[in-house]
Amino acid sequence: MKALVLKELKKPYELENRDDPVPGPGEAVVSLKAAAFNRRDYWITQGMYPGIELPVIPGSDGAGIVKAIGEGVDETFLEREVIIDPGMDWGDDENVQSDRFHILGMPMDGTFAEQVVVPASQLHDKPDHLSWPEAAALPLAGVTGYRALFTQGKLQTGEHVLITGIGGGVATFALQYAIAAGATVTVTSSSEGKRNFAQKLGAVAGYDYRSDDWGKQLVAEHGAPDLIIDSAGGDGYRTLLEIAAPGGRIVNYGATAGPPGKLDLFKLFWKQLQLIGSTMGSPADFVSMLEFVKQHQIKPLIDRTVPLKDANENLEAMATSEQFGKLVLEIG
């Protein structure tokens, strides 16, 4: 099979011929139709991810057709059109993943290849309303947005939710889900084009997080948010504590802009705020996310799709965050 391999940090992926994977007991080989990028893939190329082991076939997201199964796997899996849950070994606790938790695409070889081998228990039927690129764009960011918004954020219909950095892959899913759930959604973005697009999708307003008074403006125009979904952190985190409604929740699943600046603990305790962490999602979150996506016929937004051999173009786009929606690889 053809596969992209990351051999050295800060170097492009190399396209190689590899032996086809062979399924072990409980495993299945998926012939991939499409794969998708996440920020994680970029962080790994830059050496900014814990426990990097190279060489590796990267890629956590993928969708395709089951072509081979190992011992103990039900034969009905063969020829099924599937998407892959990339979160492995979550464990038994719905509140937090186990210390065995790991993500497809490092250290395990991932989806930027013609085939991938995974435990059959990670496979779910591809939602019928999604194309192959759309299905591949869903898993990692889709489940992260779902858990952040619903499982951890406990979003209720009619609440005001602020989603920061709307150009992000997870943020875009959170926007689509929150609108489908009947919330009032405001967003931030550094890009006017992305703010306008978010409004076309149903957000009531967009603000530039680089301006000094965006938070005050948001509260004056739309009231204080009950729930804030953030993956930036950084100096701007202070503003989130200032503008959150009393009793509000702030859910974080990333720290793109680095550690938070000085936090005002007075704001935290006086307003009885809840700061909540969230990471990817449990198998139960994944199933609920798929049900929600099917029920509301949600389609992932795709910025661009390129053939496997041109994957390094997507990697370059990630460096500048110019995309809105997912960067996808078409395979086969």
**CB distance 209 to 167 below 8 Å:** no
- State the distance between the two ends of the chain, measured CA to CA, in whole angstroms: 10
- Total site size for ligand NAP, rule CB under 6 A: 32
DSSP string, 188-208: E-S-HHHHHHHHHHT-SEEE-
> Considering only residues 12, 26, 202, 234, which one is a binding residue for ligand NAP as defined by CB under 6 A?
234
- Judged by beta carbon, residue 1 or residue 103, the one nearer ligand NAP is 103
> Considering only residues 23, 28, 29, 39, which one is a binding residue for ligand NAP as defined by CB under 6 A?
39
> Considering only residues 57, 123, 166, 228, which one is a binding residue for ligand NAP as defined by CB under 6 A?
166
199 near ligand NAP (CB under 6 A)? no
**Could you count the other beta carbons within 10 Å of the beta carbon of residue 170?**
27
Tokens linked to 224? 């204080």
Q: Which residue has the tokens 């990267």?
A: 58
- Judged by beta carbon, residue 42 or residue 292, the one nearer ligand NAP is 42
Amino acid at 230: D
170 near ligand NAP (CB under 6 A)? yes
90 near ligand NAP (CB under 6 A)? no
> Which helix H or strand E contains 67, and what residues bound it?
strand 61-69
> Considering only residues 60, 189, 239, 314, which one is a binding residue for ligand NAP as defined by CB under 6 A?
189
Between residue 297 and residue 326, which ones bind ligand NAP under the rule CB under 6 A?
321
- Judged by beta carbon, residue 215 or residue 248, the one nearer ligand NAP is 215
d(CA 97, CA 282): 7
In whole angstroms, the minimum distance from the beta carbon of 252 to ligand NAP comes to: 8
144 near ligand NAP (CB under 6 A)? yes
197 near ligand NAP (CB under 6 A)? no
Residue 247, burial from CB neighbour count under 10 angstroms (0-12, 13-18, 19+): exposed
- Judged by beta carbon, residue 211 or residue 297, the one nearer ligand NAP is 211
Alpha helices by DSSP H, listed for the chain, are 39-45, 132-137, 139-146, 169-180, 192-201, 214-222, 237-243, 265-270, 283-295, 311-320
- Judged by beta carbon, residue 23 or residue 254, the one nearer ligand NAP is 254
- Judged by beta carbon, residue 77 or residue 101, the one nearer ligand NAP is 101
d(CA 39, CA 61): 12
**CB distance 158 to 182 below 8 Å:** yes
- Judged by beta carbon, residue 110 or residue 168, the one nearer ligand NAP is 168
Between residue 250 and residue 279, which ones bind ligand NAP under the rule CB under 6 A?
253-257, 279
